[in-house]
Structure 1
Amino acid sequence: MRRWHLPVLVALLTATAVLLIVYKVRTLGYPLTPAQEVQSWIVEARLSFEATGGAAKAELAIPFDPPGFTLLDENFVSRGYGLQTERRGNNRVAIWSTRRPSGRQVLYYRTTVTPHQTQTLEQAVPALPTAPAYDELHGQAVNAILDEVRSKSADISTFSSLLMQVLARPTPDENVQLLLPRQATREDRVRTAIFVLAGARIPARMSRGVRLVDGTRGAQVEAWIEVNNGERWIPIDPDTGAQGYPPDFLVWWHGDTPVYSIERGRNAELRFSVTRTMEAALETATRQAQLSQSAVSSYSLLALPVHTQNVYRTLLLVPVGALLIVFLRNVVGVLTFGTFMPVLIALAFRETDLVAGLLLFSVIVTLGLAVRFYLEHLKLLLVPRLAAVVIIVILLMALVSILSQRLRFDVGLSVALFPMVILAMTIERMSIVWEEHGPADAIKQGIGSLIVAAGCYLIMFDQRVEHFVFVFPESLLLVLALTLLLGRYTGYRVTELMRFRALTEAIKP
């Protein structure tokens, strides 16, 4: 059991992290990169009418869980009107009311939608429709059409698609001509199809919506038909018989009832406008997750206050730097001051940028080291000596900032942002190594610390890494798994192979 304990633990950590990341990306739509954007649409419905006196009320059907899209935002603009929304079957209605309107009235409804990965229609199975009481002439026409379609179809979906193709023929036969009015529209064909399908006891309903075409004003409403096969609703194009809504079609409401109604108003007009826009993928995914009430999003760092998020944006990067240090020390063999001092130095570099940070760090550490050797002659105790080093470091920081200002070297002004404790501890540790192991080891560890700190800075504060770790904090489980694996590494370090290369060449046969 002990032999397999670590591999099993690593496998569990990896599987958990990968599954959570895949779920967030595939289901919730969280982006893998910080600059990723998604396409969204702003759809506006403008309802206008002339008041005829007395209290007025206007009702407008509005989208409710449209297939293939997610409603991100809704706005109602109606000065002087009361507003409420209510659910009616599988539709939703906005109701405006006012006591004493006068003149032309204009009401607005605006929604922002974004495409969703799946097109989900409600799965409820409706009751089978009652066969209409056809008269003799219409009954014969309906039966003739049903017999023709039934002989060429295999199930309800193909039956309904073939029926729409028969009704949409450029030159319909006499049976279709009897059922369809002259100059039949899409709505007429949908109503006729529902009428015919009722004779076959197949549930069907009309749906209407708009096409999402950028810059469209006065978008036309399109009618579609949906049939139920006993398991789900299947949308069918009345013109071609093709199944499934196109990706740019937004379902607005279901049923053959009017999309709006006006009480005490006349000359009503409804116009749709569509505008395409781009939004940050992370913001869109967060709103989608909140609307879906996902348990994962409820415990996400994105739900924290902004100032707390900013703290974790930096804190979550520390394990990434720690993993790099583990690799460079145990596998490569780079010498550093302390185990995690380079990570702290890298955090300081974030305030100054890399090149300026290396320069300022080297200047202050060199000057501080000189002062530290002077303090050694005073035979001070450890704590007072560290306090003296901290004081001197602060004075050096102030001196460098003043000189930078006089020399118009703005980079030097950011030295004040360096954590003084990090500098003081680095100076103290370097002086101890200098005294115990000589200047060569001290300089070697100092250079190694700066190299590792630079590497940590480049990896930790890369925008893609910072974004990925913050949005997917479960990725730290992968970091933990790799750290555990490196903890079992007992092979030669790269520096050792280079050091003993001459010896290995000498003993070769």
Structure 2
Amino acid sequence: MSRLPFYLVVALLFLVGIGMSVHRHIEFEVPWLPGEQRQVWEIEAQVNFIADGGPASVDLALPSTQEGYRVLTEHTASPGYGLHFADDKRGRRAQWATRDAEGSQQLFYSAQVIVAPQATSIEQEAPQAMTAAVVWEPPYDTAAAAVIERAWSQSADDISFTRELIQNFNADRLSENTRLLLTQFDRVPLLVRLLNQAGVAAREVSALPLEHGRRRQPLTTWIQVYHDDSRTLFNPESGAMGKPDNLLLWENNGQSVLEVEGGSQSRVNFSMLSRNQPAKAAVRAQQAAGSDTLLNFSIHSLPLEEQALFQTILLLPVGALVVVLLRVLIGVKTSGTFMPVLIALAFIQTSLLTGVIGFLLVVAVGLVIRNYLSYLNLLLVARVSAVIVTVIAIIAVFSVLAYRFGLNAGLQITFFPMIILAWTIERMSILWEEEGPKEVLIQGGGSLLTAVLAYLAMNNPMIRYITFNFIGVQLILMGLILMLGNYTGYRLLELRRFKPVTED
């Protein structure tokens, strides 16, 4: 029979598992290692204005995910105000409203913004450069035309034209025409008007330079130029092209940052702090904010109680892989196929030393009591039920004794799977009667060894982190188990049977 379908299935599991993990790492910035750190900025915007004594409304532009930064969480503090978050063609905005406001008013907006090199901003519609709509009064029309003509002759495209135009407004290159225009217009709105008249799509954007520990900082104004389906940011003072690493675009739709109705003397200031936090905490905050998609399948979207449950459940395939390796390749005998995995889970709850001692004590005492039950000639179901009750009694007695002697670690013995222990004792007792104590020691020792190795693998911080954060790893483990299940060669421990042949 052809094995091609089998290998295709295994290859598909590997490809899908690796693809899901790599996609989650690149697209959603989930780190491969648990100790990685991410830089997070805590930014607070404080809105101040003087209310007129009646209804008041405040409209504040909000930052959105963009190149280099992703918004994690956001909060507001606005006693007495209703709040609404709007997201439309004007961009993301916070809108406060109240029926009665009088005197000095303060509203607060705070956000956690993570430095994310892979983050991208939402595509925006480019502004239209309407030459006919730009109207100048004499003599400013002649001066504007001359300034545009000078920069146009020294450039080759929209980008170089913008750079030359800005540099012509520097102090060392000012002409009579630029001086005339600056007496009537502010620098940045003037540059945008000149660019639009020249047929270049451009607009003002407001940005926040990020500096650790800064307080009461205003926004700075930049010029964004659209050329060949791309956006380029320019510093209106120096003409430098490109977005600095520490610049957060706060409003990039060409709209006002703050609008206040029913008040005067409005202003907004910003304070910021930078700190590092574990990358997994940042990812958890991002998932909690509702960024999950089908491709970003994550346990983080579940409630915390279910997350803790799945963190343990997702370790079971790792323990199963250890069992398959030891039984198929090495040939270790165990009492029950996957009983060691459940015992390893108990070791995770109790710690290794406490778990091993508790396992040995329960099984040893259980075998003695099971030996007595064999003389009663009970039916199988009744006998196993009696063993279950016996195991529960043994665990209860050991827990009470441990508490009386001040051994708090002994109380954790209750995490052992009682039904599995009962069946283990039953199997070992039957094995003792049929094949003797030697085989009991071999299988019991193999079960304990497998449980310890499975515990070491499942309790490894790196493995726990990867299995919890990358669901695709489960498919990879499935592929490995299928490959091992296809092995039909000799086990490592069976090679000793052929040692006399090699000696001859």
- SS across alignment from 2:220: strand
Read off the aligned partner of 1:140 and give its amino acid letter: A
Structure 2 gaps, min length 5: none
Q: Which amino acid aligns with 1:73?
A: T
Matching of residue 160 in structure 1 with residue 162 in structure 2 = yes
Please show how residues 293-308 of structure 1 align to structure 2 within 5 Å: 294-297=293-296, 300-308=298-306
C-alpha contact (below 8 Å) 2:64/2:121 kept by paired residues:
no
- 1:2/1:128 CA distance change after superposition, 3 Å: same
Offset at residue 450 of structure 1 (A): 0.4
Q: What is the SS of the residue equivalent to 2:182?
A: coil
Letter in 1 for 2:46: R
The 1:473/1:259 distance shift into structure 2, 3 A limit, reads closer
In 2: Cα distance, 1:141 partner to 1:309 partner: 63
Structure 1 residues 241 and 500: CA distance shift in structure 2, 3 A: farther
Counterpart residue number, 2:322: 324
User: Partner letter of residue 97 of structure 1?
Assistant: A
The 1-side partners of 2:43 and 2:177 are apart by 37
Secondary structure (helix, strand or coil) at the match of 1:215 reads coil
Match of 1:50 in 2: 50
- 2:8 aligned partner: 8
Deviation at 1:8, TM superposition (A): 1.2
In 2: Cα distance, 1:3 partner to 1:87 partner: 55
What residue number does 1:453 align with?
451
Residues 31-52 of structure 1, C-alpha deviation per residue, up to 9 Å, x if partnerless? Answer: 3344544322222111222334
> Helix, strand or coil: the match of 1:295?
coil
CA displacement, residues 16-72 of structure 1 (integer Å, 9 cap, x when unaligned): 111111111111223334454432222211122233444334333333454433222
The alignment of Structure 1 onto Structure 2 pairs a total of residues equal to 497
Q: CA deviation at 1:325?
A: 0.7
Q: Give the equivalent residue in structure 1 for 2:182.
A: 181
Q: Go from structure 1 to structure 2 and tell me whether the alpha carbon gap of 1:279 and 1:54 turns closer, same or farther (over 3 Å shift).
A: same
Does residue 26 of the first structure (1) align with residue 32 of the second (2)?
no
Q: Verify: 1:366 aligned to 2:338, yes or no.
A: no
Query: CA, structure 1 residues 336+176, in 2 after alignment: closer, same or farther (shift >3 Å)?
Result: farther
Structure 1 CA distance, aligned partners of 2:397 and 2:85? 66
Instruction: Quote how far apart the aligned CAs of 1:258 are.
Output: 4.7
Contact 1:124 1:232 in 2 (8 A): no
| Residue number in structure 2 paired with 1:146 | 152
Tell me, in whole angstroms, the C-alpha distance in 1 between the residues paired with 2:252 and 2:403. 70
Tell me how far apart the structure 2 counterparts of residues 177 and 456 of structure 1 sit (CA, whole Å). 77
Distance 1:93 1:340 in 2: 56
Q: Secondary structure at the match of 2:412?
A: helix
Stretches of structure 1 lacking an aligned partner (at least 5 in a row):
none
Pairing 1:467–2:465 present: yes
Q: CA–CA distance in 1 between the matches of 2:483 and 2:87?
A: 56
Normalising by structure 2, report the TM-score: 0.89
Deviation at 1:204, TM superposition (A): 0.7
Cα pair distance change 1:378/1:265, threshold 3 Å:
closer
Check the 8 A contact 2:349/2:415 in 1, yes or no. Answer: yes
The root-mean-square deviation of aligned C-alpha atoms, in Å, is 2.8
CA contact (8 A) 1:145 1:175 kept: no
Partners in 1 of 2:215 and 2:273 — Cα distance?
A: 9
Deviations 1:164-203 (A, max 9, x none): 34434x5114267436638x9xx95433432332243111
Distance 2:81 2:405 in 1: 65
Distance, in Å, in 1 between the alignment partners of 2:231 and 2:122 is: 6
Identity %: 36
Q: Residue type of the partner of 1:129? A: M
Distance, in Å, in 2 between the alignment partners of 1:17 and 1:377 is 54
Q: Which shifted more, 210-219 or 261-270?
A: 261-270
Contact in 2 for aligned 1:336/1:446 (Cα 8 Å): yes
| Displacement after TM superposition at 1:330 (Å) | 1.0
CA offsets per residue over residues 294-346 of structure 1, 9 Å max, x none?
2234x543333433333322222222111111111111111111211111211
Please say if residues 123 and 231 of structure 1, whose CA atoms lie closer than 8 Å, have aligned partners that are also in contact: no
How far off its partner does 1:407 sit?
2.7
